[in-house]
């Protein structure tokens, strides 16, 4: 998700910069040459599109979302490493095991408040994340 946000941010920035450069060149040329009315309409439309891209980038903040998704992924990675280390070294007693679980639960509870939610369309595109260990279920008649 972070990569998608970064690409979107780059696309808006590149598109806006390209349009701004084209408008700058056309304005400089208009001082020397007289453009027909249709060309003036195209230049005005391009300037509106460039302004729209800049507004979209400012409102949606894809770069900021990208950073939040990236940081959320890093934190989930830390939880996975914590679980791996907890399973590698067995606890000495029940209270130590409960303390480890409490720490992992606190780590997991803190992440959703800091990372943005992943849209439902992304989950649909992923499909099942793990195969069903039991296999297809059958009904006995």
Residue showing tokens 């696309």: 11
Q: Residue 141: pLDDT above 50?
A: no
Using an 8 Å Cβ cutoff, are 5 and 56 in contact? no
pLDDT in tens, 18-41: 777 777 777 766 667 787 878 777
Q: Where are the beta strands (DSSP E) in the chain?
A: none
Q: How far is CA 92 from CA 82, 97, 103, 123, in A?
A: 17, 8, 16, 39
Q: What is the pLDDT of residue 105?
A: 92
């Amino acid at each position: 998700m972070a990569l998608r946000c970064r690409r979107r941010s780059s696309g808006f920035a590149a598109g806006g910069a390209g349009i701004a450069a084209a408008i700058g060149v056309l304005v400089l040329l208009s001082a020397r040459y007289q453009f027909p009315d249709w060309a003036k309409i195209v230049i005005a439309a391009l300037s509106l599109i460039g302004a729209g891209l800049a507004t979209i980038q400012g409102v949606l903040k894809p770069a900021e979302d990208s950073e939040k998704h990236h940081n959320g992924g890093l934190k989930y990675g830390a939880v996975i490493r914590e679980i791996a280390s907890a399973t590698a070294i067995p606890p000495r007693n029940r209270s130590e095991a409960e303390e480890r679980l409490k720490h992992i639960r606190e780590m997991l509870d803190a992440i959703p408040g800091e990372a943005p939610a992943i849209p439902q369309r992304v989950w649909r595109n992923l499909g099942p994340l793990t195969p069903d260990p039991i296999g297809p279920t059958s009904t006995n008649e």
